[in-house]
Amino acid sequence: MRYWIGVDGGGSHVRAVVIDADGRPLGRARAGGAVATVLDVEGAARAVRSVVRAAATDAGTELPSTVLWAGLAGVADPEVREQVRSALASASLARHVVVGTDVEAAFHDAFGDGPGVLLVAGTGSIAWARSPDGGVRRVGGRGRLLGDEGSGYALGLGALRLVLRAFDGRDEGTALTPLVLEACGVPSPEGLVGWAETASKADIASLAPDVARAAEAGDPGARRIVDGAVDELVAHVRAITPEERPAVVVWGGLLADGGPLAAPVREALEARGHPVVERALDAALGAARLALEAR
């Protein structure tokens, strides 16, 4: 029996789905997140190997599959992409391995081969668009040091900085202080420095819901962080479609399914003439369909 496997992997989770030649899902699996980087290719490859094997077990199929299409955060860099592909190809997961970005996988589930605009804000952030003539453009997605504006990571980092500024007396007090200290498991703001040095991107992004709740409750500092994130995400869309006002599909933990930034981002985009489309996306299934097309 021939079958195909798709993987969607980001900072919060890695998901895999097995499909047959008709595109019907046979099995699924989910595990903790992994982001491929120059310094940690093996961590991402290990997460993919684990979730693919679990999905194959759930489907009652044996490896290697026909094609594996792995959509992962952090593989926009061609060197990282090839290193991940090589690591997966040597693991006998599939007879043919393709590695792309998690956003490509989600976009394919949303639009197939057609045009559209996808705005993603989860642990990281990016906008991706395909024009009616087939041209593809991306904005953002430059990683934790040089990008990810408006993301969960950016919100969490903003919270850490705000708490320390308030502790120093450089900013007014904030309701985020006890929330952040509890979440990070440290007794005082001074302990946040050491915590942040060893925290993962996902760890810092996990503070985002606290920021959103504090902003909704009226905390001025948290409100500034959230407003800044909304502005950055709208800027992604404005940059990717400067002349047109197409509909935008939103995805990621901050924007989909009533995420903490879903309402303000929708309002800001619609105020600029962009309809926002709520559409449940299955990026792992999008990746599996890309695998099927690659046969």
With b for 16 or more beta-carbon neighbours within 10 A and e for fewer, the 173-207 pattern comes to ebbbbebbbebbebeebeebeebbeebebbbbbbb
The pLDDT-based confidence of 38 (bands split at 50, 70, 90) is low
Domain positions in the chain are 4-100, 113-279
Q: Domain spanning 4-100: which superfamily? A: ATPase, nucleotide binding domain (3.30.420.40)
How confident is residue 36, by pLDDT bands cut at 50, 70 and 90? low
pLDDT per residue over 225-234, tens digit each? Answer: 999 999 999 9
What's the average model confidence in pLDDT over 78-105? 90
pLDDT for position 25 = 94
**Segment 243-292, tens digit of pLDDT:** 778 889 998 889 988 889 999 999 999 998 888 887 888 999 999 999 99
Confidence of residue 18 (pLDDT cuts 50, 70, 90): very high
CATH topology of domain 113-279: Nucleotidyltransferase; domain 5 (3.30.420)
Q: What is the mean pLDDT of residues 199-224?
A: 93
Indicate whether 42 pLDDT > 90: no
pLDDT, residue 164, reads: 96
More confident site: 128 or 76: 128
pLDDT confidence band for 43 (50 / 70 / 90): confident
Predicted confidence (pLDDT) at residue 64 exceeds the cutoff of 60: yes
**Sheet architecture: strand order including 276-277:** 136-140, 125-130, 116-121, 248-251, 276-277
Q: Encode pLDDT of 82-94 as tens digits.
A: 888 998 999 999 9
This prediction has a pTM of: 0.82
* Mean pLDDT for all residues in the chain: 90
130-164 pLDDT, tens per residue? 888 888 898 998 877 888 899 999 999 999 999 99
Q: Do domains 4-100 and 113-279 have the same CATH topology?
A: yes
pLDDT value at position 1?
74
